[in-house]
Amino acid sequence: MTRRHRKSSATAPAGYFAWEAAGLRWLRAADGASVVEVRDEGEDFLELPWLESAGATPEGAEALGRGLARTHAAGASAFGAPPEGWEGDGWLGPLSEPLPLTVGAWDSWGRFYGEARVLPMARAGRERGTFDATDVDRLEALASRLAGGEHDTDDAPARLHGDLWSGNVMWTADGAVLIDPAAHGGHREGDLAMLALFGCPHLDRVLAAYDEAAPLAAGWRDRVLLHQLHPLLVHAVLFGGSYVRQALAAADRYR
């Protein structure tokens, strides 16, 4: 009998597992990086194949970089677009406490990132007491600058995993497999910056292979922290502590 992994929760928001399933299917349809298959789903569960863990290799990292380039190139209808067939907002964060993730359609990355990523986290942090009024002013100033397009590039909306920290890359004997997405249309640098945030194995090989397959825009290294700001804000809202200082320092760098 084939082993399966059943991901379940009786307390997850209604629609949470359907959101994740939609994202997995959308990413798999790109025929790029390997993505875990949805075997079954219900209101309170998701059934997936069992993935046998193995060590990351340089060759696997290069294959991941090339695969991500193809996934991103499959594109999205707009910045902020949800997976095909999904309606309403999604979620991002741990299964024990997922936070709402705004989706929709924006014609520029900067406006999308400011309005749908920075400002919602600023409001959530204020409501929870994580940020004070001055902190919110700092984040609003960055959102305004983003809306002006200063940090935009010519990149078209990419098909993003959306939560691509190292824990959502499962290394198997056949290479890397992506799990647990918060898939949406965004800037391709976002997934790469997320890989760097929490230490992806052989990251240099991933990035080199990606850049060879789909050259990144000039100055991309200077924008890594900007793309890391949203996950830092999420961690600040959920966990507080040093994440608050890191998130505000990142915002200050670009505002």
| 163 within some domain | yes
With respect to residue 132, please indicate whether it lies within any of the assigned structural domains. yes
Share of the chain above pLDDT 70, in %: 100
Structure tokens given for 157: 């909306």
**Count of the separate structural domains present in the chain:** 1
Task: Tell me what percent of the residues of the chain surpass a pLDDT of 90.
Answer: 97
Residue 1 pLDDT > 70: no
CATH number of the domain that residue 219 is part of: 3.90.1200.10
- And the tokens for 232? 């830092």
Q: Which of 135, 163, 180, 191 is catalytic?
A: 163
Domain range holding 237?
54-254
pLDDT at position 101 is 98
Q: If DSSP codes are grouped into helix, strand and coil, which group holds residue 164?
A: coil
Chain segment 30-39, per-residue pLDDT in tens: 999 999 999 9
DSSP letter, residue 221: G
Alpha carbons 83 and 182: distance in angstroms, whole number: 9
Cβ–Cβ < 8 Å for 250, 228: yes
- For the chain, the average pLDDT equals 97
Cα-based distances in Å from 140 to 17, 112, 251, 252:
32, 13, 10, 11
Whole-number pLDDT of residue 149: 96
Q: How confident is the model at residue 4 (pLDDT cuts 50, 70, 90)?
A: confident
- pLDDT value for 3: 82
3-class SS of residue 126: helix
Confirm whether 238 is domain-assigned: yes
Read off the pLDDT of each residue in 221-226 and give the average, rounded to a whole number.
98
Residues 68-80: tens digit of each pLDDT: 999 999 999 999 9
Query: 163 catalytic, yes or no?
Result: yes
pLDDT digits (tens, 9 = 90+) for 151-167: 999 999 999 999 999 99
Residue 96 lies in a domain: yes
In whole angstroms, what is the distance from residue 133 CA to residue 238 CA? 18
For residue 32, being part of any structural domain is answered with no
